Amino acid sequence: MNAPNLRSEGLTQESLKVTQNFIIGGLTQPLPDSFQSVEIGRITMLMFYLGAYKILFPEQPINKVIDTEKTIQYILTSLSVKSDSKEVFQGFTGCEMYGIFKHGHISYTYAALASLSQLGYDLRRIDKSSIVNSYHTLFRKECKGVFATSLEEEGEYDIRFIYSLCATCYLLNDWGNINKEILFEFIMSCRSYDFAFGQMPKRESHGGSTYCAIQSLSLMGMINRLDHIEELVQWLVQKSYLGFSGRINKPADTCYNYWIGSTLKTLGYEHLIDKKFVLAFTENCVSKRFGGIGKNQEALPDPMHTFCSLTGLSLIGALPVKYTIDSRIGIEKPSYL
């Protein structure tokens, strides 16, 4: 496939081309053995590959590379509607192997919907009633306002899964009986002394958790109720040293191109980012041998860091794209919204 020449004042043509090859390989070839541990989240990896592809190949439809109809059907078969019980979350699973649990997972549901949208599938065609009517099964009674990943007793629950819930509701354009006020109260309870957010109340502020908090508030239409924005923006900007980091006194990591960059974009302060330093750091994290982008200069490349690096650069205006990425969901906004 002929690779288009993208222009970026920081990423070289060599880096862009080897990263294009990395993405094409991920979409068309079996995943390497090292990815076995994340096989259960294959749909999330697909979302990352598709998002990066659209940025790197703006002129070439995805159906030139993969069978989109077959891929769409593969995703749709992971929709868990196997139980008649109203106490089972009937969302999407991460892959066919996960189906043995007979219930959905809220983060994989968001990833599945985002992937379908990027493949050109109209999400209004999904029979969403089973998903919407089972949101309540993820609500954790022991911690008011928080939702879990799934019904597993050992399943995680924190602000990340509130974001997955909000993104799912937004993409389906249906919030069901979700009480947004309770979600708002929990999100605000996760705010720390520095006005950024942790995963749970009284936890350390974190770039990823702050992303989840701000984007959830925006998706719910409650961002106008957020105060101390100036202090929050200061915290976010201070995470930029060469590249972005997620916490105080932590090294830079390319995934925060997106978690920090998109949060500033949603708040309207992305112009405060010094693009040349972020671009230079990202360039140094490109694997010239394998293609793709790793978390830092020593790390092997992976689809998540590649997607987050490129999407973050696009949102802050450091890598041009020919469509508008919605900073709250990481993909182009569906036309029906």
Domains, the chain, in order of start with CATH, read 13-315 (1.50.10.20)
| Residues paired with residue 79 on neighbouring β-strands, in sequence order | 92
Query: What pLDDT does residue 1 have?
Result: 47
Query: What pLDDT does residue 212 have?
Result: 98
Query: What pLDDT does residue 86 have?
Result: 59
Angstrom distances, CA of residue 170 to CA of 111, 113, 173, 261: 13, 10, 5, 21
| Through-space distance between the first and last CA atoms of the chain, rounded to whole angstroms | 33
Instruction: Please list the pLDDT of the chain residue by residue as tens digits (337 residues).
Output: 444 454 455 689 999 999 999 999 999 998 777 776 676 778 999 999 999 999 999 889 999 999 999 999 999 988 876 555 557 778 888 776 655 556 788 999 999 999 999 999 999 999 898 888 888 877 766 566 566 665 555 567 889 999 999 999 999 999 998 999 999 999 999 999 999 999 999 999 999 999 999 999 999 999 999 999 999 999 999 999 889 999 999 999 999 999 999 999 999 999 999 999 999 999 999 999 999 999 999 999 999 999 999 999 999 999 988 889 999 999 999 999 8
pTM here is 0.92
Query: What pLDDT does residue 96 have?
Result: 65
Bridge pairing between strands 240-241 and 243-244: antiparallel
What helix, strand, coil percent values describe the chain, rounded to 5? 50, 5, 45
Residue 27, H or E segment: helix 13-28
Query: What pLDDT does residue 13 have?
Result: 92
Query: What pLDDT does residue 81 have?
Result: 65
**Alpha carbon distance 16, 292 (integer Å):** 9
Dihedral in degrees, nearest 10, Cα atoms 98, 102, 105, 109: 90
Query: What pLDDT does residue 156 have?
Result: 73
Query: What pLDDT does residue 145 have?
Result: 58
